[in-house]
Structure 1
Amino acid sequence: MTSHGATFSPIKWAPAVQAGEQVQGVWTKELLRSDNGDSFTLLRIGHGTRFELSGSAVSRILVLDGELVVSTGDKQEQEKVHRSGAYRGLPADGTAVVSSPDRCLALLLNGARLGDPADDVFSPDGWHEWSPGQWSKLLLEVKLDDNFDERVVGLAHFEPGSVAPRHPHQTAHRFLFLDGEADDELVFPDGTRQTAHRVRGDFVDYPYPIEHQTFSKTGCTILFLHEPIAR
């Protein structure tokens, strides 16, 4: 099971490379690169630094902290400063120059069907209470019909003292803990149980068929993504 603790900390970053040369003031940290094409990579940009970012038209950038400017090369398009909560796409060719007037921490997501861009996914709009003390906001619109393949992308928020009871998933699912703390009990196929304490910046890839239950004493917010069923 892939997991990384406290990924937002200043350690274990790799200098970004462009045209074979290291780019001063830009660092990356790969969290996951799965066989089905999903990948999670953290991007840290220092003050005034510019970096050419390559992905695809379906890639998404989630600004976690600071300010990010995405330049598409279109002189008629005014550069816009994106702040925490911005969920942006890349141009059709998948290439853009990113910079920060101050500094920035962002998450680069690659994979199919990651949802529509939005100005602020952390805003109070669009949250739904699905269980006492537990809220969710989907970034990808889904239909729970016969064609549903488990692909879900969204945010979850636990109020202090709330719990998500033990539950299964049909595919692997990934969590990035954005704030707060939680205790996460994993239940393996052989019945073995393991409890882990999660904090801000922890990333976990729960492989199928692991089940788990989560309790948060302090409250927490999580970005989650479910791998689609292979068909």
Structure 2
Amino acid sequence: MTITFITGANKGLGRETARRLIGLGHTVLVGARDAEQGEEAAAELGARFVRIDVTDDASVAAAVADVAEHEGLVDVLVNNAGVHGPFTDPTSLTGADALAVFDVNVAGVVRTTAAFLPLLRRSSDPVIVNVSSGMGSLEHTHDPARPESKVVSPLYTASKAALTMLTTQYAKALPDVRVNAADPGYTATDFNGNSGHQTVTEGTDAVVGLATEGRGAGSGRFVDRAGEVTWS
């Protein structure tokens, strides 16, 4: 039985990823900051809720201790929790705005990954999937044919560029763990006011694919629902 921990799994892409992986036989742990929402989602999905706030070291440590006590290991860690930050005139952004976005989207992944590594290394085939975005791609955001080029969101895009690079660095540093980044694509969720052209199921194709690959699949890749893409 594959044990999968997903952060930010109470709604949107995280919840749909949980639903699909449960359907594929995974034991899924729904990680969420809000206990009420997390418990409700877990109950509806048939999963177990574990409270985690990826911006808080103590909360992350408590989540690891909880999983160590109950499941003993983690086979797949999906770093899904994220925030978009303010959609505003870039000239009005502050350092505090930037730190708040990067604290979740980048530092939160660092905290969670570092804390869960001992449990991942108890797995015979440990996997980390970081939910990044084509919004962090220079190529995508400069291509007028792509929806990423129509959005101005300096902090979110910068954080996702950083997350993709973080993924490649972890892949090099952790040869015993498969570490990849997923681009969900422009998906209709609360995150974007349900404006995306993809369904939430389509948006989780890359995440689910990376979470269910067989042993020996590559590490350090950036993958969307159509397959591996070159990140630039």
Does TM, scored on the shorter chain, surpass 0.5? no
Give the structure-2-normalised TM-score.
0.31
**Larger of the two Rg values belongs to structure:** 1
Query: 1 or 2, which has the higher strand percentage?
Result: 1
